[in-house]
């Protein structure tokens, strides 16, 4: 914590942060004019707009938002959860975020942020995950975590949850930048994931006031924080118009590298990554493709084994399976099949097919969603 | 003068005897009906007055009191017209002493038209059955002749009030007031629906076979057009035939609801498919004057709820009682009635609100939140009462065009009957009728875990997040699969098959 900033000034900054569209360069200008954040808050909308050349509406909204929260309460609630509220002047505030054009005036953090210059990779994508997206996210996520890279994502359903979960399974830290206040968990089913993530040294980050609800417009904005904290950004799956592509666009504007996982051209969820590749994004076919883009300064301490590109086909872990089960795996291939389809291809009846599928599912080779079986692993 | 006529009334699905006492005294001309009559019964006065006049009798201009005894029980229905009219004729001395004497040998049921002819009325069968003990001859409207034949009570079916009086006065003989209707067997034989007409969907057919064999409830989830309704409509065709007792039970319910149609005794298991906009009361039964609902009309048969998730939440919740107890109890301030409602629930729903989730050809336009909300409309306690859940996927053209047809309903029914026979012997002497209704004690006795199944169940519990309660369901269903295979013991493969029919998974949470 920067002790040069008084507690009152800090609280004033937290107040100002409640206005979501506060630009970093405004604060500098406003402070120059009025002296301090506290002084800014002492003005009325009229003087603000006149002296600082702000739109009168914006000035009124700024004050309205600032006085809608109680900063002391925000502070107390956050501290009670063992969290912190950092402002850019603090050394704990991430360097990469401080450099960003729209850096938040205050950052609510639960857990521990990775040190500056630590390798951080964003793995983002659709909430409507396909079995392919799930397999890819699991594999890449686990390998990144194992290598020592911190995965950054948004704790949403789908790809986000899978990428956090991959790190959590290996008990490695991962950072979730969420679109609500840190006092809430959205979606609620991810509560266990959030808890586990904090337990293994990860962090939950938000720029929003403690109890902010999951408003739709919060999510695209938090994507800029994801992009700012990471290098490179990996888009696994996403439709052509999706939040994942917003993140990619913001990342490009910040000069970050955007990588995409190619997918079937007839899958709507792969439309986003495929179009990114067309526009020149890097192609991800293995974890080494991602690691290539990690800046040199951040490579210290990473597991060098993962940097090697190999041309071997993906391993076939199913080789030790009984013949019948291998046949099932072949029938399903990289697509998805219902029990009826497997039964017909194999020529077996329902009970026998059910047994085969159950065994493969329990062993973790297959997963079943809405009655369709698909490969669970590479 | 005083007259006493015997008739009946309905409470729940049972009838009880009612005596209609008519007193005629000098005074202001009025006709008062007392003894908790419902609206229909109170209106009966007007019909009775007109019917008596139009049959060529005099309506006495005196003070007439009609009492329906026992006076503390509520009476509803239109069948009180005939006994009231006869009571008035007897009390006003328009019948000979001989005819009045004979009145006590009869039980009168019937609605009167204004011209004095008899009209059909509801609930004749249960009233005839409960009044058999009084050894009376029933007088019923001609249109209710089928119910008379089912009840095995002696009866006559006069067409008009006049004809009945002529018979009582012995001006005509019994053959002239009795019609003998022999229903042509299978009068309403619809084109029988057969399972072999459904292409593909082997898993769903198997689930329905298990459901039929063990009395389990089924939920089918699938894209529109995958054959959910087609399969459901064919489901009654693989159920075992009704026993005499079961047939009588449902015929009584249909009689009360005036839904008898042309068949004598209902010989097919009922199939009810109410629309999802149905009100709670129509579904479960009730009303200020309680009536059986769809669940009771589906008693001993099938209740098919298409678009399951579109039913109002409260309608779905009221289903829990009949699913658990096999009956519906309706409590009102004045009375409590209970209707039987042991049915097999066959529910069908889309995988998501737009219906395209998992469709390889069309993208689903729902947000994950909408899908979650849609699925969570089916509450946990309700899902707990559904033993089999099955996903249906689109049928490929090659399947649809396949020459070889699947198994016929008759073949499937053969196996179902065998499994039912095994259960009949297993549960002989208890009230349990099928595996699905096993008590905890029976479950322990008849469903021991096969050796080595512990590891499988444990793996399944972990993998699929199954609760201990769902393990009971799994065991019951596995018992039925074992019965279908005529296997003495539940085997591991039976348990494993049940895992295919596990409930809809609504979490979509990443594994930790």
Which residues on neighbouring strands pair with residue B392, listed in sequence order?
Answer: B222
Contact A162 B510 (CB under 8 A): yes
Residues from chain B contacting residue A369 (CB–CB below 8 Å): 358, 505
Convert the pLDDT of each residue in B280-318 to its tens digit. 999 999 887 788 999 999 999 999 999 999 999 899 989
B220 vs A27, higher pLDDT: B220
Query: Are A338 and B391 a contacting pair, CB within 8 Å?
Result: yes
Q: Are B257 and B285 part of one and the same domain?
A: yes
B304: distance to nearest CA of chain A, Å?
21
- Restricting to A residues 179-218, those with a Cβ less than 8 Å away from any Cβ of B are 187, 189-190, 192-193, 196
The whole-angstrom separation of Cα A233 and Cα A251 is 7
CB within 8 Å of A232: residues ≥ 6 apart: A121, A122, A251, A256, A257, A258, A259, A282, A290, A293, A294
Closest Cβ opposite residue B512 in set A192, A339, A354: A192
Convert the pLDDT of each residue in B55-94 to its tens digit. 999 999 999 999 999 988 889 899 999 999 999 999 999 9
Tell me whether residue B499 is in a domain: no
Residue in the structure block whose two tokens are 């369709």 = A372
Helix %, strand %, coil % for chain A, to 5? 50, 10, 40
Say yes or no: A240 contacts chain B, CB-CB below 8 A: no
- Estimate the crossing angle of helix A323-332 against helix A350-363, to 10 degrees: 90
Q: Are B343 and B205 part of one and the same domain?
A: yes
Final residue belonging to a domain, choices B428, B457, B476: B428
- pTM for this predicted structure: 0.83
Convert the pLDDT of each residue in B104-129 to its tens digit. 999 999 999 999 999 999 999 999 98
Tell me whether residue B134 is in a domain: yes
The whole-angstrom separation of Cα B276 and Cα B305 is 7
The whole-angstrom separation of Cα B282 and Cα B330 is 13
Q: Are B239 and B166 part of one and the same domain?
A: no
Contact A362 B390 (CB under 8 A): no
Please tell me what DSSP assigns to residue B328: E
Q: Are B209 and B265 part of one and the same domain?
A: yes
- HSE-CB for B172 with a 13 A CA cutoff: 14
Interface test with B, best of A174, A202, A242, A371 (most B CBs within 10 A): A371
* Element containing residue B112 per DSSP (H, E): strand B111-112
Report whether pLDDT(B506) > 50. no
Q: Which domain holds residue B118?
A: 2-177
Contact B391 A128 (CB under 8 A): no
Closest Cβ opposite residue B493 in set A344, A355, A369: A355
- Restricting to B residues 189-228, those with a Cβ less than 8 Å away from any Cβ of A are 200-203, 206, 221-222
The confidence score (pLDDT) of residue B188 equals 46
Alpha carbon distances (Å) from B65 to B2, B32, B73: 10, 5, 18
Query: Are A133 and A269 a contacting pair, CB within 8 Å?
Result: yes
Contact B512 A350 (CB under 8 A): no
Contact A127 B368 (CB under 8 A): yes
Residues from chain B contacting residue A350 (CB–CB below 8 Å): 202-203, 206, 497, 500
What is the dihedral angle through the alpha carbons of B419, B425, B429, B433, rounded to the nearest 10 degrees? 0
Say yes or no: A288 contacts chain B, CB-CB below 8 A: no
Report whether pLDDT(B464) > 80. no
Query: Are B435 and B464 a contacting pair, CB within 8 Å?
Result: no
CA B300 to chain centre: 7
Which residue in B244, B3, B256, B253 sits closest to B109, CA to CA? B256
Q: What is the CATH number of domain A317-375?
A: 1.10.10.10
Rounded mean pLDDT for each run of 10 residues along chain A, 378 residues in total: 84 90 77 87 88 86 91 94 92 90 90 93 92 93 95 94 95 95 89 94 95 90 93 94 88 94 92 95 94 93 88 62 89 88 89 90 85 84
- Buried-state track A135-168, b at ≥16 Cβ within 10 A, e below 16: bbbbbbbbbbbbbbbbbbbbbbbbbbbbbbbbbb
Q: Are B155 and B275 part of one and the same domain?
A: no
- Restricting to B residues 43-62, those with a Cβ less than 8 Å away from any Cβ of A are none
Residue of chain B whose Cα is closest to the Cα of A197: B512
Contact B509 A190 (CB under 8 A): yes
- HSE-CB for B296 with a 13 A CA cutoff: 28
Closest Cβ opposite residue B509 in set A189, A357, A370: A189
Q: What is the CATH number of domain A112-307?
A: 3.40.50.450
Report whether pLDDT(B505) > 60. no
Contact A192 B201 (CB under 8 A): no
A117: left (phi over 0), alpha (psi -120 to 50) or beta: left
Number of independent structural domains in chain B: 2
Q: Are B131 and B216 part of one and the same domain?
A: no
Closest Cβ opposite residue B206 in set A162, A350, A371: A350
Contact B508 A157 (CB under 8 A): yes
Tell me whether residue B40 is in a domain: yes
CA A149 to chain centre: 14
The confidence score (pLDDT) of residue B191 equals 54
Please tell me what DSSP assigns to residue B196: G
Q: Are B248 and B360 part of one and the same domain?
A: yes
Say yes or no: B507 contacts chain A, CB-CB below 8 A: yes
Q: Are B142 and B249 part of one and the same domain?
A: no
Q: How large is the C-alpha radius of gyration of chain B?
A: 28
The whole-angstrom separation of Cα B475 and Cα B161 is 61
The whole-angstrom separation of Cα B291 and Cα B285 is 5
Contact A355 B357 (CB under 8 A): no
Tell me whether residue B264 is in a domain: yes
B276: distance to nearest CA of chain A, Å?
23
The whole-angstrom separation of Cα B500 and Cα B498 is 5
The confidence score (pLDDT) of residue B403 equals 58
CATH for B119:
3.30.230.10
ipTM confidence: 0.77
The confidence score (pLDDT) of residue B332 equals 82
H-helix segments, B215-261: 228-234, 244-256
The whole-angstrom separation of Cα B229 and Cα B226 is 9
A152: left (phi over 0), alpha (psi -120 to 50) or beta: beta
What's the mean per-residue pLDDT of chain B?
87
Cβ neighbour number for residue B222 with a 10 Å cutoff = 24
């Amino acid at each position: 914590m920067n002790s040069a900033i008084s507690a009152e000034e800090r609280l004033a900054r937290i107040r100002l942060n409640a206005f979501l569209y506060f630009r970093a360069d405004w604060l500098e200008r406003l402070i120059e004019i009025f002296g301090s954040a506290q002084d800014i808050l002492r003005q009325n909308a009229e003087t603000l707009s006149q002296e600082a050349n702000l739109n009168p509406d914006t000035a009124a909204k700024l004050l309205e938002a600032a006085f809608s929260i109680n900063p002391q309460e925000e502070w107390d609630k956050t501290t009670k959860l063992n969290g912190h509220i950092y402002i850019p002047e603090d050394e704990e505030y991430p360097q990469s975020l401080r450099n960003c054009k729209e850096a938040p005036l205050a950052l609510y953090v639960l857990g521990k942020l990775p040190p500056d210059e630590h390798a951080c990779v964003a793995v983002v994508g659709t909430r409507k995950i396909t079995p392919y997206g799930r397999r890819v996210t699991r594999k890449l996520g686990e390998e990144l975590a194992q290598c020592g890279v911190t995965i950054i994502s948004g704790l949403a359903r789908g790809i986000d949850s899978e990428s956090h979960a991959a790190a959590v399974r290996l008990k490695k830290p991962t950072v979730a930048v969420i679109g609500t206040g840190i006092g809430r968990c959205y979606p609620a089913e991810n509560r266990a994931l959030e808890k586990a993530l904090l337990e293994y040294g990860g962090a939950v980050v938000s720029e929003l006031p403690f109890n902010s609800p999951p408003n739709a417009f919060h999510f695209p904005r938090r994507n800029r924080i994801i992009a700012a904290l990471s290098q490179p950004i990996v888009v696994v799956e996403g439709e052509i118009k999706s939040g994942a592509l917003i993140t990619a666009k913001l990342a490009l504007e910040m000069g970050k590298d955007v990588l995409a996982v190619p997918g079937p051209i007839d899958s709507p969820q792969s439309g986003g990554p495929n179009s990114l590749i067309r526009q020149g994004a890097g192609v991800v076919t293995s974890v080494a493709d991602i690691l290539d883009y990690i800046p040199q300064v951040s490579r210290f301490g990473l597991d060098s084994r993962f940097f090697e590109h190999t041309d071997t086909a993906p391993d076939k872990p199913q080789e030790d399976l009984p013949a019948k089960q291998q046949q099932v795996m072949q029938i399903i291939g990289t697509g998805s099949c219902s029990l009826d389809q497997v039964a017909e291809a194999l020529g077996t009846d329902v009970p026998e097919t059910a047994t085969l599928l159950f065994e493969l599912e329990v062993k973790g080779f297959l997963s079943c969603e809405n009655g369709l079986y698909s490969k669970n692993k590479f | 003068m005083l007259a006493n006529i015997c008739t009946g009334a309905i409470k729940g699905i049972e009838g009880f005897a009612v005596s209609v006492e008519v007193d005629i005294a000098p005074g202001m001309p009025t006709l008062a009906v007392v003894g908790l009559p419902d609206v229909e019964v109170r209106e009966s006065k007007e019909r009775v007055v007109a019917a008596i006049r139009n049959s060529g009798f005099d309506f006495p201009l005196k003070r007439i009191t009609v009492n329906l005894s026992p006076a503390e029980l509520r009476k509803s229905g239109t069948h009180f017209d005939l006994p009231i009219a006869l009571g008035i004729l007897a009390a006003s001395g328009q019948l000979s002493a001989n005819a009045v004497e004979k009145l006590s040998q009869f039980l009168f049921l019937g609605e009167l038209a204004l011209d004095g002819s008899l009209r059909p009325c509801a609930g004749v069968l249960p009233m005839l059955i409960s009044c058999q003990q009084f050894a009376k001859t029933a007088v019923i409207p001609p249109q209710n002749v089928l119910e008379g034949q089912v009840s095995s009570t002696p009866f006559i079916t006069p067409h008009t009030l006049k004809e009945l009086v002529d018979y009582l006065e012995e001006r005509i003989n019994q053959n002239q007031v009795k019609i003998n209707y022999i229903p042509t067997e299978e009068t309403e034989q619809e084109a029988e629906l057969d399972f072999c007409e459904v292409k593909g969907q082997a898993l769903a057919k198997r689930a329905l076979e298990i459901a039929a064999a063990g009395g389990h409830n089924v939920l089918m989830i699938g894209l529109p057009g995958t054959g959910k309704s087609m399969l459901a409509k064919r489901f009654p065709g693989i159920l075992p035939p009704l026993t005499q007792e079961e047939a009588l039970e449902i015929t009584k319910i249909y009689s009360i609801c005036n839904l008898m149609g042309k068949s004598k005794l209902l010989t097919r298991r009922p199939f009810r498919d109410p629309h999802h906009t149905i009100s709670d009361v129509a579904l479960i039964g009730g009303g200020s004057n309680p009536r059986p609902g769809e669940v009771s009309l589906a008693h001993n048969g099938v209740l098919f709820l298409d678009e399951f998730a579109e039913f109002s939440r409260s309608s779905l919740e009221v289903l829990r009682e009949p699913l658990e107890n096999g009956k519906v109890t309706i409590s009102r301030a004045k009375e409590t009635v209970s209707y039987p409602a042991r049915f097999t629930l066959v529910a069908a729903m889309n995988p998501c609100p737009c219906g395209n989730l998992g469709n390889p050809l069309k993208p689903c336009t729902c947000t994950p939140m909408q899908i979650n909300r849609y699925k969570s409309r089916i509450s946990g306690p309700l899902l707990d009462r559904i033993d089999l859940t099955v996903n249906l996927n689109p049928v490929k053209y090659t399947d649809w065009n396949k020459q070889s047809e699947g198994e016929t309903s008759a073949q499937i029914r053969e196996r179902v009957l065998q499994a039912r026979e095994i259960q009949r012997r297993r549960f002989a002497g208890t009230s349990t009728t099928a595996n699905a209704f096993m008590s905890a004690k029976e479950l322990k006795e008849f469903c021991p875990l096969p050796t080595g199944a512990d590891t499988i169940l444990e793996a399944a519990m972990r993998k699929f997040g199954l609760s201990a309660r769902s393990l009971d369901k799994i065991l019951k269903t596995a018992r039925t699969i074992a019965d279908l295979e005529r296997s003495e013991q539940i085997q591991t493969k039976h348990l494993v098959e049940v895992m295919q029919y596990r409930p809809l998974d609504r979490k979509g949470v990443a594994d930790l």
